[in-house]
Amino acid sequence: MKKLVVSTGAGISAESGLSTFRDAGGLWDKYPVMDVASHDGFVRNPSLIHEFYNTRRRELLKVQPNSAHYGLKKLEEWYDVRVITQNVDDLHERAGSSSVLHLHGELMKVRSMTREDRVYTLTPDNLETSPDTRDAYGDPVRPHIVFFQEAVPNFDAATALAREADIFVVIGTSLNVYPAASLLYYVKKGTPIYYIDPHPAAIPPEAGNVTIIAKPATEGVADLITILSETK
């Protein structure tokens, strides 16, 4: 079975009603990014960051996966589909995707500030955290999010997947967020690449053979399914 590796950004979840970060009117227009999403901001005012992500979780519970998320699940009928996402929501998982690698963390999880390997999944009935929240070991917790000024721990795993891809797909991203945007350059030469975005960024020639589908994620994934179902 061919390996289909899909890199997704905010555009795939925007159609479900989630606020994006970088677009006009997005979250960074409403909140100073370094206050609510940086390491220094967390050290300076952890209460603000806890509340910011409490609010994001409440918003997440109000939305559902869209047809683009479900379309990637459908492609598992014909391909070994591996999703690499910049998104911190759980919409890929809720749509049933079997393999999801989160580059920037997971909104519905927190982790110990003493032991990073102690990661806990929150539930709809237990969403709220604060600087006073403790785990079963008595350790304070923080959002399981990769803040600005922090390393992206799953990037090596993501580049390994990109290298193994028989087909590579990029959905709903401006290709301006690094290191995620550089995944294109790890794909083997000659590998078919599809880029789905209503406002696609310019693709450097060294990125290889890229087919652009200039549509929103829901429409673009429907087109992708048609194309790939004919070549599977």
Active site positions, annotated: 104
User: Counting beta carbons within 10 angstroms of the beta carbon of residue 194, is it exposed (0 to 12), middle (13 to 18) or buried (19 or more)?
Assistant: buried
CA-to-CA separations, 39 to 45, 117, 230, in angstroms, rounded = 10, 18, 47
Q: How many residues does the chain have?
A: 232
Q: Rounded to an integer, what distance in angstroms lies between the CA atom of residue 167 and that of residue 13?
A: 22
Q: Rounded to an integer, what distance in angstroms lies between the CA atom of residue 20 and that of residue 89?
A: 11
- Cα–Cα nearest to 58, from 122, 120, 3, 138: 122
194, 43 Cβ separation under 8 angstroms: no
Sheet of strand 105-112: strand arrangement: 119-121, 105-112, 141-145
Q: Rounded to an integer, what distance in angstroms lies between the CA atom of residue 205 and that of residue 187?
A: 13
Sign of CA pseudo-dihedral 57, 61, 62, 64: positive
